[in-house]
Structure 1
Amino acid sequence: MELSRRTLLAGGFAAVLGGTVVGCSSGMDTGTEAKKNTATTLTLWCWPGGLGKSVVDDTIAHFPDPTIKYSEIGGDFKQKLITTFNGGTGIPDITGIKGEDIASMLPQAERFVDLKTVGADSVLGDYVEWKVKQATTLDGKVIGLPIDIGPTALYYREDVFTKGGLPGDPAKVAEQLKTWDDFFAAGVELKKSNPKALIVWDATDLYDIVVGQGTERYVSKDNTFIGDQDHIRKAWDTVVKAMTLKIDGKTASGSPDWNAGLDQGTIPAHVGAAWVALDIKSAVKSSVGKWRLAATPSGPANFGGSFLTITKNAADPAKAFEVIKYMLSPDNQAKAYADAQIFPATPAAYDKPQLKVADPFFGGQVPIDVFGPAAKAIPVAYEAPSDGAVAQPFKDELKTVQSGSKTSDAAWASAVSKAKAIAKRQGVQ
């Protein structure tokens, strides 16, 4: 679903700002303690759009010694990083890790500095707890500080809703559309008066959000497969219900048809993370000012959000930590939000002036009034290193239900069977 600047901003393979990529070490010994010598240069890797430009520029100016060499890496960032780790040279001191990749990096925690060893305990409480837990190993090592998070909300067209007999005021929408059943019922009513307006843009896109509203996923902390249990089946059935009610627009987010549908009112709603606002704003022309924000039906979820980590190759881990602590402070997270809609992982930022601005695009609403409470209420769920791979069959099989090639029960059985096989190959019980 994440078809936005989080994954699609990539330019060339390595667009470098401020110079070429420079490694601070000639090799990597993952079995030794982090280096303690003084660095003359600290290298920092991230992907295009991952950090606010003004924050990067300010951080480079704030730390003249050692010099910070910042590089934007296009293409498959995770694969580039892993290849560099395995090659043993050119490894950055500080590197971003995308939220969808952090779980798979936890078993490789020896490649990163445990931030608790360089002073992180003094700032971990500044970030939402559930996000810190995503970068924490089962034995308590913390390998990353959060760059951002992706709390969800309901984006909707106030004009389309009211013409279809639904409430338009955000508070009333939140009250009437408290659950997915409420949301789907509203979609049925809307379709009666406006057959082209389907309240669910793409039911298969909705699946990850529904799963993310729970406290369990596909693998438990004791490394047992639980993807066949009621919490996943409930998320599955929720998505299938939207298909059965024929309020599913089958239009993938980020596609040209999605862009057009948002502006034309045939896609009158979208449930997505805070950063989706940029995608909607860039997609529409005639519906500026007609959009509103309300709470996500059935509760908040998170979609996206990344981390900064320090590699074991860092020449000066203590200095590297000072850099990421400064870059990811509440003041700088607020600045990154103002620059590029990079939503802060530090609740203290929510009271900064940059986040209290009324947005004319949303009819004068202040987005933080919706996203702030959501960010604080997102449930904590354990995400296993194998989670992404184990989840994929469920997403694939939902598409067969959507296309009509399989019944829900048949597709479910196939998804569970495939997921169990993948889990077993990855060492899950």
Structure 2
Amino acid sequence: MRQEDDDVMRNTTRITNRPRRRAARAVAVGLTATLATALLGACSSDDDGGGGDDENITLRVGVFGQFGYQEAGLYDEYMEANPNITIEQDSTTENADYIAQLRTRLGQNSGLADIQAIEVGNIAEMTSELSPRWVDFNEYDVDTSHFVPWKVDQATDADGRVIGLGTDIGPTGICYRTDYFEQAGLPTESEAVSELFAGGWEDYIAVGEDFAANAPDDVAYLDSAGGMFNAVVSAFEERYTNEAGEVIYQESEGVQTAWDLSLQVADAGLTDQQQQFSPEWERALANGAFATLPACPAWMLTTIQSHAGDAGAGLWSMARSPEPSNWGGSFIGVTDASEHKEEAVALAEWLTAPEQQAKIFANAGNFPSSATAQETEDVQNATNEYFPGVQIGQILSTAAAEIPSTPIGPNDQIIQESITNGLVTVEQQGNDPDSAWEDVVSALDNALAE
């Protein structure tokens, strides 16, 4: 943040800064996108429901990790246009800690901020039993037409109430090391590598077999079977839960396809046998132990840069995924307990408007959930200095247009974690795949019965 911005924040807001999450919401250093001034024009008090001139209002915003509002100067901008509004933000490091506290406070309907963030993995429970604790944005005539439709669907409950506005999404590409590809005799330019993968995940695996035959002996093609599973399954319309809310992972074509392909890369010795986001995985990334990440959304670029550091600068690139999917994303909602619902809704709508989403992408790397923002030249033409010569914005915007609308259930995270843990036992412990699957089913039977 610029010094003058910091001074303004110190005088007008209370920002509680805690350590940031390692992955999904760290600031994306080096993202360049020159945003048009017209997109970022200040709003008026009348337009934004800032309250009457004689009424001073404090709005509290609760988030986890890094949402980019403070870093992009959006709170300052909003308060300058609405002098009677003071914004206070509290950010918790990990979503696991944040959501546990949020569940408790929603259950008690007390201790809540006016605006609270919701991770996509938790949106199903918020639109079901906890839905009454949230304001329905439909009642305030909030414009949701600029969001990608499936993002609005995810935040809509069974009665048609929209309880969350999309902040970002996670369209995926494939990240790869150009130096390792060159050593293996493979193309290194983004477009050429994209063509290698264009036929589907089978092509990606075939490239891996060529890579393994010619690459340095101590470099694996990809990080993990679990990473492969996530990349493949996330492109299917049905994964773990169907439209009726039923758990269907055992019959899911997406799960079966992803499981089989993950076993294939593991059996072929193409993986580094890691568990994603473990300390060992982070060290492997830092040490250049693998050449590709098969699911690489915008926020993963920050993870790569954070762990690979200066030694990895200019060595990583991004190609199009053969079957793009979504990994990550969040919402913000207004709590029913808020004493300033109208003003909180106005702020939430403004923070998630296309203009602000474009600015956050430029400053923090969170890819817009607004289709209108995605279409701007500033987003489409965005690049990243750490990944030289790669049209990051174009790759991710193209991927975003192909993401399927997928039902999300409250148990999806538990199911995926159990499956990827099963793959870890195959890779690291030599467990028989059939036995590993039986263990997954048994563990989930117990977990989902609780």
TM-score range, shorter chain: 0.7 to 0.9
Cα 1:220/1:39, change in 2 over 3 Å: farther
Instruction: Say whether residues 1:374 and 2:399 are aligned partners.
Output: yes
Is structure 2 residue 63 aligned with structure 1 residue 46?
A: yes
* Structure 1 residue 61: Cα displacement: 3.0
Distance 1:245 1:234 in 2: 17
Q: CA deviation at 1:100?
A: 1.8
CA distance in 2, matches of 1:334, 1:411: 44
| Cα distance in 2, alignment partners of residues 7 and 335 from structure 1 | 15
Counterpart Cα distance in 2 of 1:258 and 1:389: 21
CA-atom RMSD, angstroms?
A: 2.6
Identity of aligned residues (%): 27
Q: Hey, what's the Cα distance between the residues in 2 that align with 1:73 and 1:62? A: 28
Asked whether the equivalents of residues 52 and 335 of structure 1 are also in contact (C-alpha less than 8 Å), the reply is: no
Q: Does 1:144 align with 2:164?
A: yes
Deviation at 1:254, TM superposition (A): 4.2
Change in 2 beyond 3 A, CA 1:255/1:423? closer
Q: Does 1:70 align with 2:92?
A: no
Change beyond 3 A, Cα 1:116–1:280: same
Residue in 1 aligned with 2:258? 235
Aligned AA for 2:271?
D
Mind listing any 5+ residue stretches in structure 2 that lack a counterpart?
1-20, 28-50
1:150 shift after superposition: 1.0
Equivalent in 230, 233, 245 of residue 268 of structure 2: 245
Structure 1 residues 369 and 387: CA distance shift in structure 2, 3 A: same
Counterpart of 2:326 in structure 1 is 302
Deviation of 1:379 (Å) = 0.8
One-letter amino acid of the structure 2 residue matched with residue 48 of structure 1 = G
**What are the Cα deviations for residues 265-308 of structure 1, in whole angstroms up to 9, with x where unaligned?**
431111321111111122232332232211113x1111111111
Q: Secondary structure at the match of 1:69?
A: strand
1:402 is aligned to 2:402: no
Matched, 1:6 2:24: yes
Does structure 2 conserve the Cα–Cα contact (< 8 Å) formed by 1:293 and 1:367? yes
Distance in 1, Cα, partners of 2:285 & 2:439? 34
Q: TM-score, normalised by structure 2?
A: 0.81
Aligned partner of 1:221 in structure 2 is: 243
Q: Deviations over 1:230-286 (max 9, x none)?
A: 331111111111100100112344456545544654311113211111111222323
What is the CA deviation profile of residues 155-208 of structure 1, one whole-angstrom value per residue up to 9, with x for unaligned ones? 112222122122222222112113222111111111111222211111113322
Match of 1:411 among 427, 433, 436: 436
Match of 1:340 in 2: 364
Structure with greater strand percent: 2
The 3-state SS of whatever aligns with 2:61 is strand
Q: TM-score, normalised by structure 1?
A: 0.85
Separation in 1 of the partners of 2:247 and 2:210? Answer: 39
User: Contact conserved, 1:262 with 1:280, CA < 8 A, in 2?
Assistant: yes
For residues 8 and 290 of structure 1, what CA distance do their matches in structure 2 show?
20
Residues 5 and 49, structure 1, Cα contact 8 Å, conserved in 2: no
3-state SS, counterpart of residue 89 of structure 2: strand
- Aligned counterpart for 1:91 among listed residues 109, 112, 119: 112
Q: CA deviation at 1:98?
A: 1.3
Aligned partners of 1:106 and 1:136 also within 8 Å: yes
**1:93-130 CA deviation, whole Å, 9 max, x = no partner?**
1111112211222211011011111112xx21211112
**Alpha-carbon shift at residue 69 of structure 1 (Å):** 2.6
Q: How does 1:153-302 map to 2 (within 5 A)?
A: 153-178=173-198, 179-194=200-215, 195-229=217-251, 230-255=253-278, 258-259=281-282, 261-262=284-285, 265-270=288-293, 271-282=295-306, 283-297=308-322, 299-302=323-326
AA in 1 matched with 2:292: A
Change (3 A) 1:74 1:217: same
Q: How many residues align?
A: 395
Question: Are the equivalent residues in 1 in contact too, given 2:238–2:406 (CA < 8 A)?
Answer: yes
- Offset of 1:57 from its aligned partner? 2.8
Q: Which amino acid aligns with 1:157?
A: R
Report SS of the residue matched to 2:367. coil
> What is the deviation of 1:7?
6.9
